[in-house]
A and B are shown apart, each in its own frame.
Chain A
């Protein structure tokens, strides 16, 4: 459980987030919605430590936790991702299990290989392993990045608009997949896709005017609040 207490953030004198309190549980699919520039990415970046906290605190299971330990619990995909040059999908997914075991290479144990294989199957990437990552379409790349997070198998998965390039059918498939994963992981995704939010979310957070103005079950007239 990640608890965020009294979090405020200013960017160049402009107040973006104002005393936000939020608890993210170890399971369930939470969707973070809100207009452009409302601070969704800022909130996610603060939790994963990409931005320095200014005011407020973040606790893990009600205890203090340092940045790197917290990050070891969260898989995070930022909204802007760089294409790794030259490497194949399989090589990219292998890097998700990077470690310092082994001398001249990191060593994939059989457990690591199983998790990578599992993520490949879950995301339907069986025929992609030997493709060069940078040659894929933007939707296919997002599938690979999601597989990357699943293979990491951390307690939480945070996605910043990570499925927005998928076509309608694939969005349905992947939100369904997130829902399935969220049985034993806390999944938080920021998105503009209200249809999917209404269909799949366990919990909706609406961010507006520096505050979380709605925190609850998805409902049909969600777009009115945003």
Chain B
């Protein structure tokens, strides 16, 4: 219980600090008084816009996207018995990435809701395809990773190709491939919310069953559980979570991988605890990476996905060296 309280306090403090950074620091100086006025729409039009339409949505987006990718990562690692589990590495976000490329080039004219729905569907299709390829004979973790990786690489090539063919600006293309939280309107973010809650609710409600997936198929069947059904369902819901996140920010590599490992190292072995704890871990990682992405070369921005990769790779190397 002591550990729980310490962790909760740390999370809340880190979260508050991240939010304060996100609200107060930026190219335009906004003080505490102006912030409070702006929150109540009483400041100047410029300040109101900066707070409400530029800085606050980013914070919400970072938190939602971070938790979605992180939970998807935990689920993939557990269901496939593979420490490489990550929505991007496993190719699940590939379909959604192609949808983003089609939308950004104007080949599909989509409202934000349609964008999210198409991305989620594309991710679900990728999940199912990868699952079918990987489980034709018997389910092998390595096969799944190889197939997922190939599907992901192909989707990335297709979406880059679409953007190159349509001569999309580099900045926009980087935003989709590298992930960006900049200049996203509330209306683009809101469609993600229901999908996020559906995915999280479903995964939390089956997470106790996921503990058993680490045993190997024969033993799983021997305790009376159909391993492939749980795997397929989990992959589909990992697709729902990561697809809806991609529809808002593009792909953010490594986030799911890192958040899942950090969460497991802190929480131990029980999948339920790891899933729940991945939510704040993913949110905080994304929140801070986003602050770095917008502040480091202020007023220019680096795609947040690249920041995650740059700070994530050393963390991952350390974790692999120390804990795997």
Contact = CB atoms under 8 A, between A and B. Distances in A.
Interface of A: 48-50, 68, 71-72, 74-78, 81-82, 84-88, 91-92, 95-96, 98-99, 102, 104-106, 148, 152
21 contacts: A50-B218, A71-B221, A75-B222, A76-B218, A76-B222, A78-B219, A81-B216, A82-B216, A82-B219, A84-B214, A85-B83, A85-B214, A86-B214, A91-B270, A95-B212, A96-B223, A99-B224, A104-B272, A148-B219, A152-B222, A152-B223
Contacts of A105: 208, 272
Contact of A104 (B208, B212, B218, B221): B208
B225 A98 contact: yes
B17 interface: no
A104 B205 contact: yes
B269 A95 contact: no
Contacts of B81: 82, 85
Nearest to A107: B208
A149 B206 CA distance: 25
B75 to A, nearest CB: 15
Sorted from nearest, which 6 A-B pairs have the closest CB atoms? A82-B216, A84-B214, A105-B208, A98-B223, A86-B269, A87-B269
Interface string B252-275: 000000000000100011101000
Nearest to A79: B218
B218 to A, nearest CB: 5
Contact of A95 (B205, B215, B264, B268): B215
A85 B205 CA distance: 22
Of A87, A98, A102, A106, most B-chain CB atoms within 10 Å? A98
A72 B224 CA distance: 7
B214 A87 contact: yes
Size category of the binding interface on chain B? 20 to 34
A142 to B, nearest CB: 13
A91 B270 CA distance: 9
B166 interface: no
Interface of B: 81, 83, 204-205, 207-209, 211-212, 214-216, 218-219, 221-225, 264, 268-270, 272
A118 to B, nearest CB: 18
A95 B208 CA distance: 11
Contacts of A87: 211, 214, 269
A68 B224 contact: yes
A95 B272 contact: no
Contacts of A50: 218, 221
A162 B221 CA distance: 18
Nearest to B270: A91
Given A88-B269, A98-B212, A78 B218 contact: yes
A152 B83 CA distance: 29
B77 to A, nearest CB: 9
B285 to A, nearest CB: 21
Given A95-B223, A96-B223, A104-B272, A84 B208 contact: no
A106 B208 contact: yes
Contact of B224 (A77, A98, A102): A98
Of B214, B222, B224, most A-chain CB atoms within 10 Å? B222
Contacts of B209: 106
B201 to A, nearest CB: 12
Given A84-B216, A98-B225, 17 more contacts: A72-B224, A75-B222, A76-B218, A76-B222, A78-B219, A82-B81, A82-B216, A84-B214, A87-B211, A87-B269, A92-B215, A95-B212, A104-B205, A104-B207, A104-B208, A104-B272, A105-B208
Given A72-B224, A76-B222, A104-B272, A86 B264 contact: yes
Nearest to A154: B222
A46 B272 CA distance: 35
A86 B218 CA distance: 19
Contacts of B208: 102, 104-106
A74 B221 CA distance: 11
A75 B211 CA distance: 19
A148 B205 CA distance: 26
A68 B214 CA distance: 21
Contacts of A104: 204-205, 207-208, 272
B219 to A, nearest CB: 7
A90 B216 CA distance: 17
A71 B264 contact: no
Nearest to B77: A85
A189 to B, nearest CB: 16
A105 B275 CA distance: 14
B205 to A, nearest CB: 7
A50 B227 CA distance: 13
Contact of A84 (B205, B215, B221, B225): B215
